[in-house]
Amino acid sequence: MQTHLTIASLRAALDAERDAGKRIAFVPTMGNLHEGHITLMHRAINHGASIVSSIFVNRLQFGPTDDFERYPRTFEADCAKLVEAGVHHLFAPDEQQLYPSPQKFVVEPDPFLQTTLEGEFRPGHFHGVATVVLKLFNIVQPHAALFGKKDYQQFLVLSAMVRELNLRIEVLPGDTVRDPDGLALSSRNGYLSDSERAEAPRLYRLLSALREQILAGNRDFDALQAEAMAELASHGWAPQYVAVRRRSDLQSPSAQEGGLVILAAAFLGKTRLIDNLEV
């Protein structure tokens, strides 16, 4: 694996790959890699391309009360995992490379998509995500880019960006990878204490139970959401939302609609966990 710290070095290497007729598949990350990321790398490799990954903890997508400083930085271990996964190029810029001066041109995602659910509780988050991903896309110029569905709303925001800005990039989803007890893998799981880690799979169990109820014909989404929030709260969580939405655009569905996804975010102690399940 070649590691590139500068835009110039990465561009020169990828120009050579393209000249050799290779397709480029790109997996952007903020590091602290786990099986969820590695599954995306494998999916990219199956795509038959030269694989580029990036590690950059993007300050622009963290709010003032978010955990930017605390975000785990595990560069050496991440590099070892990327080498093992068969990644060809790693782009690991510092802030000076990506933001040499304050970013004034920014991407404003769809007003609804960037303010609902995650957007309500993390104002400005998707504007930061979309801005850095568009910059990375312009630097890497991939044929395909892969994003995990664990961050469902992020996947929709970035798919909409690619579609509406006519980028010639195929956006591919990766399924959420879970521990055997159902907890979705996340860089933030490392913040959980032992007792919180034991409690954490409740979120997935709750989403699974909700899905069963919907499949069994219970379409009173408001009541289902309220019950699920109460259930989490009664076990010491501070839920922010449990929401049944349309998969395509995250709007609230009518009682008859199919193609649904249940999304949830809740604090367990100081750690904010999110998860989702398609119905």
Interacting residues toward ligand PAF by CB under 6 A: 28-30, 58, 61, 129, 132-133, 151, 154
Q: How far apart are CA 202 and CA 13, in angstroms?
A: 46
Residue count of the chain, please give it. Answer: 279
- 129 or 206, CB closer to ligand PAF? 129
- For the CB of residue 219, give the shortest distance to ligand PAF in the complex, in Å: 32
**Distance of alpha carbon 141 from alpha carbon 239, whole angstroms:** 39
CA 233 to chain centre: 25
In terms of DSSP H, where are the helices of the chain?
7-19, 35-46, 75-85, 95-98, 118-121, 125-140, 152-164, 194-199, 202-215, 221-234
Q: Distance of alpha carbon 257 from its chain centroid, rounded?
A: 26
Helix axes 125-140, 7-19, angle to 10 degrees: 50
**35 annotated as belonging to a binding site for a ligand:** yes
Please identify which of the residues 37, 88, 125, 127 carries the catalytic annotation. Answer: 37
Q: Which is nearer to ligand PAF, 78 or 239 (CB)?
A: 78
C-alpha distances in angstroms, 187 versus 47, 249, 271?
25, 26, 11
d(CA 55, CA 155): 18
CB of residue 156 to ligand PAF, shortest distance in Å: 13
220 annotated binding-site participant: no
**Residue 37 is among the residues annotated as catalytic for this protein:** yes
* 187 annotated among ligand-binding-site residues: yes
* Annotated binding residue 22: no
CB 154 to ligand PAF: min, Å:
6
Taking the least distance from each CB to ligand PAF, the nearer of 78 and 151 is 151
Choose between 58 and 225: whose C-beta lies nearer to ligand PAF: 58
Q: Minimum distance from CB of 133 to ligand PAF (Å)?
A: 5
State yes or no: 32 annotated in a binding site: yes
As annotated, the binding site for (R)-pantoate includes: 61, 154
The catalytic site residues sit at 37
As annotated, the binding site for ATP includes: 30-37, 148-151, 177, 185-188
